[in-house]
Amino acid sequence: MILDSKIPNGPLEEKWTNYKKTAKLVNPANRKKLDVIVVGTGLAGSSIAASLGEMGYNVKSFCFQDSPRRAHSVAAQGGVNAAKNYKNDGDSVYRMFADTLKGGDFRARESNVYRMAECSLNLIDQAVAQGVPFGREYGGYLNNRSFGGVQVSRTFYARGQTGQQLLLGAYQALMRQVGKKTVELFSRHEMLDLVMIDGKARGIIVRNLDTGEIERHSAHAVVLATGGYGKIYYLSTLAMGCNGSAIWRAHKKGALMASPSWIQVHPTSLPQSGDYQSKLTLMSESLRNDGRIWVPSKNNETRKGNDIPEEERDYYLERRYPAFGNLAPRDISSRAAKERIDAGFGIGPLKNAVYLDFSKAIREQGKEKIQEKYGNLFDMYLKITGYDAYQEPMMISPSAHFSMGGLWVDYELMTTVPGLFALGEANFADHGANRLGANSLLQASVDGYFIAPYTIANYLSNEIHTGKISTEDPAFEKAENAVKKQIEELINIKGTKTVDHFHKTLGKLLYDYCGLARNEEGLKYAIEEIKKLKQEFYRDVRVSGHGNNMNTELEKAGRVADYFEIGELMCYDALTRNESCGAHFREEYQTPDGEALRNDAEYQFISAWAWTGEHTEPELIKEPLVFEEIQPTVRSYK
Amino acid sequence: MDLHLKIWRQKDQKSEGKLENYDLKDLNPHMSFLEMLDTLNEKLITEGDEPVEFDHDCREGICGQCGMMINGLAHGPLKNTTTCQLHLRSFKDGETIVIEPFRAEAFPVKRDLKVDRSAFDRIISSGGFVSINTGQAPDATAIAVTHQLAEEAFDSAACIGCGACVATCKNASAALFTSAKVTHMALLPQGKEERSERVIKMVKQMDNELFGHCSNTEACEIECPQGISVLNIARMNYEYSRALFFKRK
């Protein structure tokens, strides 16, 4: 199989314009004849559903939460990037493109990254027009702050709740269309399979989570905007319901998965405090603008943070990366923290954290200024930990966060299954091996508001003569039966261990062997252990209740069943990449001072994986990455 | 620490519900309230019982999906806190805790502690937005908004739609939720054009959903996890009267 990325011809800065010029249109009168399914209501899902609805297509929008407003985009704190150059500090679309490409360790497509930077300008306009209350200067103009991995101020923010405000904007746009009846909303519904007819995506099978009913929905195109699968580690910054099931089930129907092992570990989350813990809470990366990160310079320090004098503190980021200091990119900051913790310099009751210290910023700027910038984050810290971070340094720790991997998509954001699109974190496209801060809200939004409306229309222009797709087609029946069979199987195991037990065990295995650092031996071990754990799951899991009513345990069991397979693929992916890049750090490939050692000669490609069946190894298909504009260099933040 | 729990169990909307007793021992006070319920569910599943159904998702206090009445208080005893951000350190060893769903005619119980809050979505869908299509918005700098105004709008926009205001109100009024959106939009220049239509439609929808009237007890503000001010309700009333006064014939 040869992957066609469909990158348009012409110079980089004209590619998207050229695409739009030649993309085919659908006559407004014909749009009513076309149905589109959108799964997920985060920034990508809400914005594409709203956009397609207002264009006149029949849209069905699905989410597993009780309301589309709960999607996990809501939790992003720090901000959204846009190359507006309002600060006159030398920013431009090109610079943002270059920063993103470099930040992703040269493992992303140039054309996609450039387009994201280009569309960033429109996103801020769109959000402001929707009433998103971004931070403002006293004169009334938009304010910016800076984020890890860059030296300009291009991050727009709404206090520490940027994701919430952007999502509410998109949700309101979606609900406006629901009111106009151009979009039909199905909350508390979970997609359990993709239906293909004649090689095209033609619908989905969903479970109504309230009633347990299995439903069939048909469409001329299916859009998956279901977010990331970082919750595979169990402890992560993601919402409890975040999962990889929709994309995984599409993968098993023929869509390739790209770069599954690139899951970002975020440097500033709250540390784990006990075995009962269900998640790790993210503290916005924006805190690193003013907070200084350090550990005691003495091993096994027992004194409290405030009692350790300045000269006995090791500001290791400022020491190792003087040019970027505390704003070093996420993968580098996370690894540096792990290095210090592993070396015995960690702090806190479990010695698994580092300090994020605001005392200097409070001394210089005053408590009020810090309160204005990060007040809600300090409040959140107090609620969760019981400590006042105005008085003593915060304790932070790295935790699994964002999946750069996902379904492989071409320039049109279409997967290898015709008619199946993947948007936002569900695709692999724009971040390479490491996502720069504040680019996640951006990618999800521009995919949904500005890119997919053109590319999906281009696809649908060939579908106007197809006519209504019947859910009576044998393909629907087959998919529905398979879903019902799986549910029955899970309910009937009636073993002794809970779903969470298996999820936690898998998560720990992945943290240890396919987490911040990996090596060949560990990955091979993990693959075998995951296989064993999966067998044990199908032998000994206990899913209480029935399939025909509300049953959260059953929902979780289905997701964990998929996580076993995703986890295995993550390890295969990590195993075949004999280099260190971004979120992927293979211990065998590092410089003498512990930095990631990339191998461009052999690994300048995207790993796209094909499903070959349950008991066979997945098939690797390579998409070579061609760099015309920027030649890959060693990523240095020193 | 040890806790004695009385939890509302109800099979579905049509069934009758009742409080059931559960005992948990050796809990870590750093555990969150929902992690305590996770622990209870693990126990129930292993013992062959059905776990307690409750709504939750982000567990960071921002998605608004969690929420239950804890000893009669929406989201429990801590001020400005969602249930997921409540920790056992807020309770005493040996304490009895009564856990019930958010109650309101407009929020029917789905099962155990889960309720249907889709009425909120329908209120937003009736007018809680700026009518702008995607793709052609004017440059963001074209609309200047002062720092103070943006912050004030933000204070209202921060509502997470959890429904605590309804659950704690003796009239089950949705005035705080609706007014927060009305205020957010009415304050900003982008939302001003539609302010009259918006408030009339949203208030009408709120009434259609069987929420009660606001009688100014201000309990909603006290139990709101985001500290949304009741001044929003005053603003909504002003906007509503203004809209009726200037209503085009």
How far apart are alpha carbons A327 and A638 in whole angstroms?
11
Asked if B59 and B34 count as a contact pair (C-beta separation under 8 A), the reply is yes
Task: Calculate ∠ Cα B78-A276-B72, nearest 5°.
Answer: 30
Q: Is B133 on the interface with A (CB under 8 A)?
A: yes
Place A78 in a pLDDT band, splitting at 50, 70 and 90: confident
CA distances from B190 to B138, B142, B202 (A): 11, 11, 18
Angstrom distance (rounded) from CA A621 to CA A573: 11
Tens of pLDDT, residue by residue over A616-627, are: 999 999 999 999
| Residue A86 to residue B97: CA distance in whole angstroms | 53
Quick one: average pLDDT of B20-39?
Answer: 96
Q: Which two tokens stand for residue A251?
A: 């993968």
Q: Indicate which residues of A carry an active-site annotation.
A: 330
- Lowest mean pLDDT: which of A194-198, A328-332, A596-600, B179-183? A328-332
> Measuring CA to CA, how many Å separate A275 from each of A149, A337, A450, A508, B16?
33, 22, 43, 11, 36
Q: Does A164 touch chain B (CB under 8 A)?
A: yes
The DSSP line for B105-168 is TTS-EEETTEE--HHHHHHHHHH-S----SS-PPPGGGS---HHHHHHHHHHHT-----HHHHH
- Of A346, A340, A316, A345, the C-alpha closest to A328 is A316
Distant-in-sequence, close-in-space partners of A413: CB < 8 Å, separation ≥ 6: A421, A422, A423, A427, A429, A447, A451, A452, A455
Q: How far is CA A530 from CA A218, A494, A524, A586, B206, in A?
A: 35, 21, 10, 20, 51
Q: What rounded mean pLDDT belongs to chain A?
A: 96
Question: DSSP characters for A583-638?
Answer: TB-BTTSB-TTS-B---HHHH-EEEEEE---TTSPPEEEEEE---SSS--------
Q: Is the pLDDT of residue B249 over 70?
A: no
Cβ of B140 within 8 Å of Cβ of A84? The answer is yes
If you average pLDDT over residues A167-173, what whole number do you get? 98
Q: How far apart are CA A565 and CA A260, in angstroms?
A: 11
Give the C-alpha separation, A54 to A74, whole Å. Answer: 23
The full length of chain B comes to: 249
pLDDT at site A151: 86
**Rounded Cα gap, residues A301 and A347, in angstroms:** 8
AA letter at B14: K
Determine whether the interchain pair A276/B116 forms a contact, defined as Cβ–Cβ distance below 8 Å.
no
Cβ atoms of A388 and A382 closer than 8 Å? yes
pLDDT of B192 reads 95
A433 half-sphere exposure, CB direction, 13 A CA radius: 29
Name every residue whose Cβ is closer than 8 Å to that of residue A387 and which is 6 or more positions away in sequence: A381, A394, A395
Percent composition of chain B: helix, strand, coil (DSSP 3-state, to 5) = 40, 15, 45
Q: CB-based contacts of A551: which residues, under 8 Å, 6+ apart?
A: A212, A543, A544, A545
Q: Spell out the residues 6+ positions from residue B231 whose beta carbon is closer than 8 angstroms to its own.
A: none
Find the closest chain B residue to A134 by CA distance.
Answer: B150
What pLDDT digit, counting tens, does each position of A373-418 carry?
A: 888 889 889 988 889 999 999 999 999 999 999 999 999 999 999 9
Cα–Cα distance for residue pair A249/A215, rounded to 1 Å: 16
Residue A329 pairs with which residues in a beta bridge? none
Residue A592 one-letter amino acid: P
As a whole number, the mean pLDDT across chain B is 96
Q: How far apart are CA A564 and CA A531, in angstroms?
A: 8
Do residues A438 and A120 make contact, with C-beta atoms less than 8 angstroms apart? no
Tell me the CA distances in angstroms from A629 to A12, A94, A111, A583, one per residue in order.
8, 10, 10, 24
Strand-pairing partners, residue A218, are A203
Report pLDDT digits (tens) over B66-91. Answer: 999 999 999 999 999 999 999 999 99
The pLDDT value recorded for residue A145 is 86
pLDDT of res. A620: 98
- Counted across chains A and B, CB pairs separated by less than 8 A come out at 229
Distance from CA of B108 to the nearest CA of A (A): 13
**pLDDT above 90 for A150:** no
> What value, to the nearest 5°, has the Cα angle with vertex A583 and ends A579 and A586?
35
Of B38, B48, B188, the CB nearest to A278: B38
Vertex A499 angle, CA A495 and A505, to 5°? 105
Query: Is residue A1 pLDDT above 80, yes or no?
Result: yes
Contact between A549 and B12 using a beta-carbon 8 Å cutoff: yes
Eight-state DSSP code of residue A392: S
Residues of A in contact with B151 (CB under 8 A): 133, 136
Give percent of chain B with pLDDT exceeding 70: 99
User: What is the phi/psi pair of residue A179, to 5°?
Assistant: -60, -35
Question: With an 8 Å Cβ cutoff, are A164 and B130 in contact?
Answer: no
Report yes or no: A451 at the B interface, CB cutoff 8 Å.
no
The encoded tokens of residue A541 equal 């899991």
Residue B96 forms contact with A (CB below 8 Å): no
Best A240, A268, A504 member to test B by mutation, with max B CBs in 10 Å, is A240
**How close B112 comes to chain A (CA, Å)?**
10
Angle (nearest 5°) at CA B125 between B121 and B128: 100
Nearest residue to A131 via CA among B152, B232, B231, B62: B152
Instruction: Give the CA dihedral A30, A33, A34, A35, nearest 10 degrees.
Output: 150
Q: Select from B149, B165, B148 the least CA-distant residue to B211.
A: B165
Least confident span in A371-380, A516-525, B43-52: A371-380
Q: What is the pLDDT of residue B248?
A: 61
